[in-house]
Every structure is written in structure tokens, then in C-alpha cells.
Structure 1
């Protein structure tokens, strides 16, 4: 009996050792990519789909995802080698390049192709027009950031001087803007989802317009890596981009409900109903890029928006900061 027990114990140990060895071997075969995202947002649904549907894993990539909360922090993390890839606005790459960076971050894949904010009014408006903003108090976004620059661009396109025709408030931290509006500050506010939808459901505000619809195509948020990382890990980034492209195609072919269920684990504090509503908003207005290729006309539009806002430090040619080879190879 003792001999049988000993044999069973040895067999069990051997089995566990084998399973552990298989597990370690599997992990060793995976390439880890440290990914820093500028914020956690339903606006970035294709990224979460690529993770939840196993597309990155199937391409042999293990994603180590960190939310770094803000463009400046995200870029600093990338430049300091705290991340391999950053999901952040393309304007940050221009800011860094203008400072004579010797290893500049290069944009290699698009995630979103429009602005992701909505204009929310305090009172319900049945027949909104942009002239209603004149003379109002407007809660804007951070100076130099894409939301604010796009917001000003849209206002100018509608004949409104953002610094002359309304009372523009920009001294409130990004995270405190919703609570400032909820507490009574401002007649209008520029908000991301799902806050805009939640405010509407709670009766705090009312969505009256989309800055994404009004602004046109722009490389609003995408993936970038330092040139040195691209040089050394081009094949890894090809597989990374292939997984992203698969997610983009999956979103195009899937229903709002399927997308919402796929990304729900990343938004545990948001109801499935709200996630579905937000996904529908973004998908219907074409906010999610359908391919990873960053378009040249979108890059030029970015320059126009930054120049109008007085935030363009220098004109940077498309070919200088945009790598199209990876996306094009993946799309072949």
C-alpha cells in the first residue's frame, strides 16, 4: 500500500512538473509588449476587443496594459522606457519631435480617426445651432490637448471665436471637469463618453452635438513606439498591428451588443446598457478606425487644427513621424 501511495505521489509530482513546464514554455514563446494607454475609454474599443477576443494572444503577444492618465504622463513613460508602445494622441509626437528628440516616437497604427468628445448643454435644446454658444460659459479642455484644439477648430468653423465670443474656462483639471459641470459651472461642456451619456441619463446635461462629426478625420489616438524599438522589434509590431487590424474588422462585422459584451470587463463600473449606447454613438459616426493605416490627409488636418489653436511648434512631414510600412504589410 505504501509503495502504491509513493508511486501515485511521484506520478502526481511528475504531472504537475510537466504542466508547469508546458505553462512556462508557452509563456516563453510569447512576446510581452508593455502598452501604456492615455486613459481608459470606450473610445478605444478596438484595443480591448483585440485583448478580450484573444487576437493578441493568437499572434504570440502578451499585453501588459497600464493606464497612465494623461498625454504628458504617457509620453514621459514611453520616452523613459517604461513602456514599449503608447496609445496617445498624435500631437504629442510632434511636441517631442520639435524638442530635437534623438529617438522620436513614431506613429505606426491608428485606433481612432475622429474626435471623441460631445457638446453637452445644461438645458435640453430641441433645435440646436452653434450660434447659441455665443455669450455662454463654456467648460473646455486642457490647453494644447487634442480635445481642446479640436473644440476650438469646430467653433471657428461655425464662425465662433472661442476666446472672444464666449466665456471659455480652461483652468479645471481634466478629471474634475464633469463634476464642475454637475455642480453648476458652465452652460455647455465638452465631454468624453461614457460621461456624456451618463449625464443625459441622470438629467444633468443633454448631448446636442458631436465634435467628432464636425471635425473630420484626424489621427486622434493611435499607437506609437520609439524609432529604436521599431528598428529592433519590427516583427513584433507587425504581429501587434495584425491583432489590432483583426479587432477593427471584428468590430465592423459585429453588433453593438457583441462589442459591448466583449469590452465590458474593462469597464466594470459602467452598465452594459450604457456601454452599448456609447459604442453605437462612436461606431455610427465612424470614430473607430477601420484599418491601422494613418492617412496623410488626416495628418495634414492635425497640422491645421494645431496651427489654428496656436499650438503647432513646427510643421513635421507625414513621412517623418508616420510609419505606414507596418500597417500596409499587415493589410496585404
Structure 2
């Protein structure tokens, strides 16, 4: 009789273990994320993946690189992805086209422009007026890099259309190759390309567009309004994991962050990654919390309007949801 009871207890324990495991599996939520490009600029996102911050929240995150704002937003609006990491200006473009289910910004990742001005020749004591009458290889018209670049140039009294030989017909992915092949006296580049060019003697970093333009919601996690409403708990967990990563990056030396994110940049040396992380960190490019505040949103609209790319004046509360991020920070 005792033997039968012991077997019964043993079987019950096994069933309870299986049930617990099944419950654990049910609690895991899968999310698809599309990033507009692969960049050290997005270091906190990779930290959240590598340090297991998403897993701690019961999330399984599938990251895909969609290479371009248009492709990223197409993926989001067509339900090819749940969350998009892209410039917040794209949400304004979508709203202006009369979207019934707008893309809503819910967690900010970067808060400055991430590009640098690279000169072909070494320029001692660089002044912005040195650009006058030069050939400038710029970014795609209508994108944040181009708009910020134009905003900064005008801030320094330079009219890109009048004072420069401006080249804007080169695809984003081909801009570095065009400069390396001899096109342009100056070019606007992201990292790590800017630092690689400097190491290889192709060009010299002379200024930061991020430092010059101030805080803007440059790269933001967004999702369709309906998705956020239907998956509020998952969005909250996602935002919490990003916040953990932001705080971790802020607290750690650049080299520690570089070691964690190196698997995402296998073609880049560890020291170079650390240099780029330190450069972005020192100029405050990485947001230290996910809140996209109204002042930053208004700065974005000023930059877009200056570039002639603001289709309509969209209020902060229309396309930005700060309640989730605020709740997490206040916990």
C-alpha cells in the first residue's frame, strides 16, 4: 500500500513539474522588432538582448534589420513586425497620410543626432564656415540625418543649397563608399564608419551634428496604436527591459558595453566599438530613460519645419505615449 502511495506521490510531483513548465512557457511572449539599421548608436538595445533583460521580463524578442526608414515603417504597418526602432519623424509622415491606426512612439532610445562631419583633409581649428564653397556629400532628403544636418548648417549661417555643392542623390548604404572613392570634400557619416575612416586615413572627424543640434527623439521604439492597446503588458515589459539596459549602459565604462555588444559587430575591433560607445555616451546620445518629452518632440518639429519636411503640426499627445515609461520609472 505504501509503495502505491509513494508511486502516486512521485507521479503527482512529475505532473506538477510539467504543469509548472507549461505555465512558464505560456507566460513567454514573443515580439518581433525591426531596427532601421545596425548601429552602435543603438547599444542599449543590444545590451538588453545580450544581458537577458528581455528574458527576465518573460519576452522572447526576434530582432531583424530592415535597412531604411521606409522599409521599417512598411514592415510595421503591414504587421510584418510588432515594434519598429526608427526615427520618430516617420510617425508624423504616416499620420499625415491619414493612417487609421497610427504609429505611436512609446520608448526613446537615442536623444541626439548620431552623425559626424568628416573632412577629407585634416582641418586644424575647424570652423563651420570652412564648408562654404565645398562639395558636401549629404544624407537622403527627408530623413533625420539630412534634416538635422541642414538645421545645423543654417544655424551656422550656411545655406546648403546656395553655399555648398550639395550631393544628395546617393543611397544611404553607398554614401561611405562614394566618399572613400573620392566624392566630396566633406561627408555626414554615422559611426563606426566615421572612426574607421579616421583610422584608415580616408577622412577626419571635425564636428558632431549631435552636439550642435541638441536633444531630439532621434530613434524611438514605436508600435501601432491598436497593438499597444491590445498588448499593453508586453509593451510595458519591453520598455522595462530597455530602461534596465539604458541604466546599465549609463553606469558602465564604454569598454564593458563594447564587450557585451561585440557579437552584433563582428567585423569591428573591440577597441573601435569602445571608442564609438564612449563618443556617443560623452555627448549624451544614449537616452538614460525611455521618456520622449514634449520639449524634444517640439525640437523635432522645428528641425523638420526648417527643412521644409513637416507635413502638419502634430501634437505630442497625438503620437507619443509616455504613460508606460513613466509608470516603469516610478515603480
Same fold (TM over 0.5): yes
Distance 1:245 1:177 in 2: 33
Mind listing any 5+ residue stretches in structure 1 that lack a counterpart? 1-14
Of residues 156, 170, 173, the one that matches 1:172 is: 170
- Cα deviation code 1:245-294 (max 9, x no counterpart): 00011011101111000111111111101100100000000000010000
Alignment-derived partner of residue 293 in structure 1: 291
Q: How does 1:138-287 map to 2 (within 5 A)?
A: 138-287=136-285
Q: Structure 1 residue 22: deviation in Å?
A: 8.0
Q: Structure 1 residue 301: deviation in Å?
A: 0.5
- Cα deviation code 1:98-125 (max 9, x no counterpart): 0110000000000000000000000011
Residues 1:72 and 2:70 are matched in the alignment:
yes
Residues 1:309 and 2:315 are matched in the alignment:
no
Q: Provide the secondary structure at the position in 2 that maps to 1:103.
A: coil
- Cα deviation code 1:151-188 (max 9, x no counterpart): 00000000000111001100000010000000100000
- Check 1:23–1:196 CA distance in 2 against 1; reply closer, same or farther (3 A cut): farther
Q: Provide the secondary structure at the position in 2 that maps to 1:164.
A: helix
Alignment-derived partner of residue 103 in structure 1: 101
Q: Structure 1 residue 30: deviation in Å?
A: 1.0
Distance 1:222 1:312 in 2: 18
- Check 1:98–1:124 CA distance in 2 against 1; reply closer, same or farther (3 A cut): same
- Check 1:262–1:180 CA distance in 2 against 1; reply closer, same or farther (3 A cut): same
Distance 2:263 2:22 in 1: 26
Of residues 57, 60, 73, the one that matches 1:59 is: 57
Distance 2:187 2:240 in 1: 37
Mind listing any 5+ residue stretches in structure 2 that lack a counterpart? 1-13
Distance 1:235 1:30 in 2: 12
Q: How does 1:109-148 map to 2 (within 5 A)?
A: 109-148=107-146
Q: Structure 1 residue 27: deviation in Å?
A: 4.0
Q: TM-score, normalised by structure 1?
A: 0.93
Q: Structure 1 residue 61: deviation in Å?
A: 0.6
Out of 24-33 and 152-161, give the one that drifted further: 24-33
Distance 1:280 1:194 in 2: 12
- Cα deviation code 1:207-244 (max 9, x no counterpart): 00000000000000010000000110011111100000
Q: Provide the secondary structure at the position in 2 that maps to 1:94.
A: helix
Distance 2:229 2:144 in 1: 28
Deviating above 2 A after TM superposition, structure 1's stretches of 4 or more consecutive aligned residues are 18-29
- Cα deviation code 1:192-218 (max 9, x no counterpart): 000000000000000000000000000
RMSD: 1.6
Distance 2:215 2:293 in 1: 9
- Aligned residue pairs: how many? 317
Q: Structure 1 residue 296: deviation in Å?
A: 0.7
Alignment-derived partner of residue 329 in structure 2: 331
Alignment-derived partner of residue 49 in structure 1: 47
Distance 1:253 1:145 in 2: 31
Distance 2:267 2:174 in 1: 18
- Check 1:132–1:57 CA distance in 2 against 1; reply closer, same or farther (3 A cut): same
- Cα deviation code 1:63-87 (max 9, x no counterpart): 0101000000000000000011000
Distance 1:20 1:82 in 2: 33
Q: Structure 1 residue 312: deviation in Å?
A: 0.5
- Cα deviation code 1:276-327 (max 9, x no counterpart): 0100000000000010000111100100000010100000000000001010
